[in-house]
Amino acid sequence: MGKFIGKSIKRREDARFLTGKGKYTDDIKLPNMAHAAFVRSPYAHARILNVDTTAAKIAEGVVAVYTAADGPGDYGVPCGWQVNFKNGDTMREPQHPLLAKGKVRHVGEPVAIVIAESLALARDAAELVDVEYEELPAVTNPKAAMQAGAPLVHDDFPDNAAFDWCIGNDRAEVEAALDNAYHVTELEFINQRLAPNAIEPRSYIADYDVNGDKWTLYTSTQNPHLIRLLLCAFVLGIPEHKVRVVSYDVGGGFGSKIYHYIEEALLTWVSKQIARPVKWTADRSEAFLMDAHGRDHVVKSKMGFDKEGNIVAHLTDEYCSMGAYLSTFAPAVPTYLHGTLFQGLYKTPLIHVNVTAPFTHTCSVDAYRGAGRPEATYLIERLVSKGAKEMGMDPAEIRYKNFIPPFDGVNQPGYQTQVALQYDSGNYAPVLEKALEAIGYEDFRKEQEAARKEGKLLGLGISTWIEGCGIAPSAVVGALGARAGLYEVGHVRVQPTGKVSVYTGAHSHGQGHETVFAQFVADKLGIPMDDVEIVHGDTEQVAFGMGTYGSRSLAVGGSAIIKSIDKVLEKGAKIAAHKLEAAVEDLEYAEGKWTVKGTDKSIAFGDVSLTAYVPHDYPEGLEPGLDFSSFYDPSNFTFPFGAHLAIVEVCAETGKVTIKRFVTCDDVGNIMNPMIVDGQIHGGVVQGIGQALLEEVVYDESGQMITGSYMDYAMPRADNVPMIETHNTVTPCPHNPLGAKGAGEAGTIGSTPAVVNAVIDALWHLGVKDIQMPLTPQRVWKAMNQN
Amino acid sequence: MQIKLTVNGKEYSHDVEPRLSLTHYLREVLDLTGTHIGCDTSSCGACTVLLDGRAVKSCTLLAVQADGCEIITIEGMANGSELHPIQAAFKEEHGLQCGFCTPGMVMTAADILKNNPTPTEAEIRHGLEGNYCRCTGYHNIVKSVQRAAETLNQ
First to last CA, chain B: 45
Q: What is the mean pLDDT of residues A18-44?
A: 98
Which of A283, A511, A682 lies nearest to residue B140, judging by beta carbons? A682
Per residue in A383-406, pLDDT (tens digit) is: 999 999 999 999 999 999 999 999
Q: Per-domain residue ranges for chain A?
A: 14-136+200-251+257-290, 370-468+638-784, 487-632
- In which band, very low, low, confident or very high, does the pLDDT at A1 lie, cut at 50, 70 and 90? low
B37: closest CA of chain A, how far (Å): 7
Determine the residue type at A168: G
State percent of chain B over pLDDT 90.
Answer: 99
Interface of A with B in 716-755 (CB under 8 A): 716-719, 721, 723-724, 747
Q: How far apart are the CA of B146 and the nearest CA of chain A, in angstroms?
A: 13
CB within 8 Å: B137 and A724:
yes
Calculate the average pLDDT of chain A. Answer: 97
- pLDDT tens sequence across A718-763: 999 999 999 999 999 999 999 999 999 999 999 999 999 999 999 9
CA distance B154 to chain A (A): 22
Instruction: Over range B8-18, report the average pLDDT.
Output: 97
Query: Residue A707 is which amino acid?
Result: T
Mind listing the pLDDT tens digit for each residue in B96-137?
Answer: 999 999 999 999 999 999 999 999 999 999 999 999 999 999
Report the DSSP pairing between strands B70-72 and B48-51.
antiparallel
- Give the residues across from A728 on adjacent strands: A666
Of the candidates A665, A578, A580, the residue with the CA atom closest to the CA atom of residue A624: A578
At residue A2 the predicted structure's pLDDT band, cuts being 50, 70 and 90, is confident
- What's the fold here for domain B2-76? Ubiquitin-like (UB roll) (3.10.20)
pLDDT by residue (tens digit) across A691-724? 999 999 999 999 999 999 999 999 999 999 999 9
Domain A370-468+638-784 has CATH 3.40.220.10: no
Contact between A76 and A296 (Cβ < 8 Å): no
Quote the minimal CA–CA distance from B4 to chain A in Å: 22
| CA dihedral (A336, A342, A348, A354) positive or negative | negative
Its pTM stands at 0.97
Smallest Cβ–Cβ distance between B94 and the set A11, A20, A711 belongs to A11
Task: Judge: B91–A11 Cβ closer than 8 Å, yes or no.
Answer: yes
A225: Cα within 13 Å, side-chain hemisphere = 22
ipTM of the modeled complex: 0.98
Strands A203-209 and A214-219: antiparallel
Percent of chain A with pLDDT over 70: 100
Which among A156, A158, A140 has a CA at the least distance from the CA of A148?
A: A158
| Identical topology for domains A370-468+638-784 and A487-632 | yes
Average pLDDT value for residue range A557-563: 96
Query: Which segments of chain B belong to CATH 3.10.20.30?
Result: 2-76
Q: What is the pLDDT of residues A265-310, one digit of tens each?
A: 999 999 999 999 999 999 999 999 999 999 999 999 999 999 999 9
**Sequence ranges of chain B with CATH classification 1.10.150.120:** 85-153
User: What gap in Å lies between CA A561 and CA A52, rounded to an integer?
Assistant: 54
Neighboring chain A residues of B144 at a CB cutoff of 8 Å = none
Stretch 487-516 of chain A: residues touching chain B, C-beta under 8 Å: 509-512
Task: With cut-offs at 50, 70 and 90, classify the pLDDT of residue A440.
Answer: very high
**Chain B residue with the nearest C-alpha to that of A673:** B94
Name the closest residue on chain B to residue A18, using Cα atoms: B87
Which residues in chain A touch residue B30, judged by CB atoms under 8 angstroms apart? none
CA torsion sign, A139 to A144 to A145 to A150?
negative
Instruction: For Cα atoms A750, A756, A760, give the angle at the middle one, nearest 5 degrees.
Output: 140
Does A289 contact B at CB distance below 8 Å? no
Amino acid at A571: K
Most A CBs within 10 A among B35, B84, B97, hence the mutation to make, goes to B97
Non-local CB neighbours of A276 within 8 Å, separated by 6+ positions:
A32, A33, A34, A63, A208
> Across the interface, do A683 and B134 touch by the CB < 8 Å criterion?
yes
- Residue A624: how many CB atoms within 10 A of its CB? 12
Contact of A1 with chain B, judged by CB distance below 8 Å, is answered with no
pLDDT of residue A71: 86
Nearest 10 degrees: Cα torsion A604, A608, A609, A613: 150
Partners of B90 on chain A (C-beta within 8 Å) are 14, 18
Could you tell me the CA-to-CA distances from A407 to A403, A520, A648 in Å, in that order? 12, 27, 34
Please check whether residue A14 is in contact with residue A239, taking contact to mean a CB–CB distance below 8 angstroms.
no
Does A658 lie at the interface with B, CB-CB under 8 angstroms?
Answer: no
Count A/B contacts: CB-CB distance under 8 Å.
180
Q: Is the pLDDT of residue B36 over 90?
A: yes
Residues 6+ apart with CB under 8 A from A65: A53, A56, A57, A112, A113, A114, A115, A125, A129
A47 shares contact with chain B (CB less than 8 Å): no
For residues A528 and A143, give the distance between their C-alpha atoms in angstroms, rounded to a whole number: 57
Q: Which of B34, B87, B94 sits opposite A679 (nearest CB)?
A: B94
- A494 pLDDT exceeds 70? yes
Which one of B98, B105, B120 would you mutate to disrupt binding with A, by most A Cβ within 10 Å of its Cβ? B98
List chain B residues with CB under 8 Å of A198: 98, 100, 134
How near does any CA of chain B get to the CA of A225, in Å?
Answer: 20
Residue B145 C-alpha, separation from nearest chain A C-alpha, in angstroms = 12
Residue A26, φ and ψ in degrees, nearest 5: -70, -15
Which architecture, in CATH terms, is A487-632?
Answer: 2-Layer Sandwich (3.30)
Q: Which of B60, B138, B147 to mutate to test the interface with A (most CBs of A within 10 A)?
A: B138
State the number of CA atoms in the 13 A half-sphere of A754 facing the CB.
33
Residues in chain B: 154
**CATH code for residues B85-153:** 1.10.150.120
CATH number of A14-136+200-251+257-290: 3.90.1170.50
Instruction: Band the pLDDT of A530: cuts 50, 70, 90.
Output: very high
Q: Contact at 8 Å (CB) between A535 and A504? A: yes
CB-CB: which of A711, A716, A718 is closest to B142? A718
Instruction: Report, as an integer, the average pLDDT of A526-530.
Output: 97
Least Cα separation, residue B126 to chain A (angstroms): 6
Does pLDDT of B33 surpass 90? Answer: yes
Predicted local confidence at residue B86, as pLDDT: 98
Name the CA radius of gyration of chain B, rounded: 15
How near does any CA of chain A get to the CA of B49, in Å?
12
Give residue-wise pLDDT tens across range B44-75. 999 999 999 999 999 999 999 999 999 999 99
Which of A353, A373, A384 shows the shortest CA–CA distance to A638? A373
Closest CB from B91, B133, B138 relative to A18: B91
Is residue A551 very low, low, confident or very high in pLDDT (cuts 50, 70, 90)?
confident
pLDDT for residue A732? 97
DSSP E strand stretches across A385-471: 415-416, 422-423, 457-466
